[in-house]
Structure 1
Amino acid sequence: MEYELNLVVIVALVGAGLISGFINTLAGGGSMLSLPALMLVGMPAEIANATNRVAVLLQALTGSSGFNRHGALDHRAIMPILVPTLLGSLLGSLIASYLPSQVLKPVLLGAMVIMALVMLFKPATIVPETGSEPLAFAQRPAAWGGMFVAGLYGGFVQAGVGFILLAALAGGLRYDLVRSNALKNVCTAALSVVALGVFIARGQVLWIPGLILAVGSIVGAYLGVKFAINVSQRTLKWILLVMVLLACGGALLSG
């Protein structure tokens, strides 16, 4: 397909990637910026949704590596958490891959609005009490379902998946926001691999704009980890709440 790519567009994509990579690493909702940026290039919704996963994968790998270097990544929890996430991601990406653009666009809007409203009116869902010890799936079986739903949504559309992952990890399994963000990045990378594989097989990924967006996303994720490690839990909570408000407003305005 034809799409516009000039110096202004390249700078805009890098800038959108940087901001989305930063806020995705700290909270979620970054794809609500990067998806419209890709669509402004001339991509239909389903192609932008697929192409966006290139940047999301690379920013998530960068974020995971950064949190791991700072000792914030719980390695023992990775495999149990990835099982339901990957199962959901495979189903979600298959659904998204076969939905036509005119169906996908309102579904994306509806999903973003619903998730933003849930996180806005029930912020305690993702903010565990100070000193809470993380739980295993055996102690909180419902969290398994939460991770599956997060994977399903993430496979379907990346925008806002960080909110759902944080709800399952912080609200369900009681990880603090720093450790939740570390595991969230691992989950995002894993579900992005599954989703990207489906979209590549369907020929829906445009690599050049996807990699340009990824350049900014990698830098944004690196800066996001540095910021998360050096600020308080309270600051992270307020950033998350602000992102929920912005995500909700942005989704409503785009309708």
Structure 2
Amino acid sequence: MFFEFSAEVLAILLAAAFAAGFVDAIAGGGGLITLPVLMLSGVPPVQALATNKIQGMFGAGTAAFSYARSGHVDPKAQAPAALLAAAASFGGALLVTVLPTEWIRLILPVLLIGIALFFALRPGLDDSDRTRRLSPLIFTLTAVPLVAGYDGLLGPGAGSFYMLSFVLLSGYGILKATAHTKLLNFASNVGGLLAFALVAQPLWLLGLAMGVVQIAGARLGAKMALKQGAKVIKPLLVITSLSLAAKLLWEMV
């Protein structure tokens, strides 16, 4: 099906992948860009979800590598949480063809607006760590599989939910939370893709092509986030959360 796209449509898909990689490396929400573009290009919804996991895996992996190389996250220490995220996302993706997701779509805009308001209005949110509310073990056993399961089931907004969890429950500063989000995002993309390979038909060539472009966008986004920290992450997180909420509300009308 890769070769059935016109040059113009393919160019739009690749441009969307670059933009998604850039945005996702900073604040999450790259699926807000790529998933609608895939469906508008004529890809069926479940197949679009599957293909989106392929290209999203490249962007999240690149961002995770960039943050790890800069010393903001220890991949070895986060490995158990990443494995759990992959397993939970695998389970969520297997349920996508049998579980009604309309109730999630109804509450998701409210949650995303709440996230946007939290980061926009909460005073003092910067790159400084704060009081931890959950131990790393409890956080890994609760927040991680919950968000990862949603990532496999639907996906858009998962990065924002990871981010909020790290800030609220682990007490991380904005940049540290962003860095820790990316490896989990990568793992849940891998787990979701493995499941979709069984229940759907991902467009592998298209996903790989978009993934290569995502790498460039993710490298640029991670570089900007590492340089600017909360000053660039917070506004972009607010914008992406509100944009996704608006898109979901528009689809309900």
Contact 1:27 1:162 in 2 (8 A): yes
Contact 2:85 2:191 in 1 (8 A): no
Task: Name the aligned partner's letter for residue 161 of structure 2.
Answer: I
The answer to whether 1:210 aligns with 2:207 is: yes
What is the DSSP-based 3-state SS (H/G/I as helix, E as strand, rest coil) of the residue aligned with 2:96? helix
Partner residue of 2:226?
A: 229
Task: Name the aligned partner's letter for residue 74 of structure 1.
Answer: D
Q: CA deviation at 1:130?
A: 5.5
TM-score of the two chains, using structure 1 as the length reference: 0.86
TM-score of the two chains, using structure 2 as the length reference: 0.87
Cα deviation per residue 1:109-139 (whole Å; 9 max; x = unaligned)?
43642431221333378x8565325749537
Task: Name the aligned partner's letter for residue 113 of structure 1.
Answer: P
Q: CA RMSD in A?
A: 2.8
User: CA, structure 1 residues 219+134, in 2 after alignment: closer, same or farther (shift >3 Å)?
Assistant: farther
The answer to whether 1:122 aligns with 2:118 is: yes
Partner residue of 2:52?
A: 52
User: CA, structure 1 residues 175+5, in 2 after alignment: closer, same or farther (shift >3 Å)?
Assistant: same
User: CA, structure 1 residues 44+153, in 2 after alignment: closer, same or farther (shift >3 Å)?
Assistant: same
Q: CA deviation at 1:97?
A: 4.2
- Equivalent of residue 145 in structure 2, options 141, 144, 148: 148
Contact 2:163 2:178 in 1 (8 A): yes
Measured in 2, the distance between the counterparts of 1:166 and 1:136 equals: 15
**Which residues in structure 2 correspond to 1:161-240 (within 5 Å)?**
161-240=158-237
Unaligned runs of 5+ in 2: none
Contact 2:29 2:156 in 1 (8 A): yes
Q: CA deviation at 1:195?
A: 0.9
Partner residue of 2:32?
A: 32
Unaligned runs of 5+ in 1: none
User: CA, structure 1 residues 246+140, in 2 after alignment: closer, same or farther (shift >3 Å)?
Assistant: same
User: CA, structure 1 residues 129+77, in 2 after alignment: closer, same or farther (shift >3 Å)?
Assistant: farther
Cα deviation per residue 1:70-95 (whole Å; 9 max; x = unaligned)?
11113454034335423421321111
User: CA, structure 1 residues 129+27, in 2 after alignment: closer, same or farther (shift >3 Å)?
Assistant: closer
Query: Percent of aligned pairs with the same residue?
Result: 24
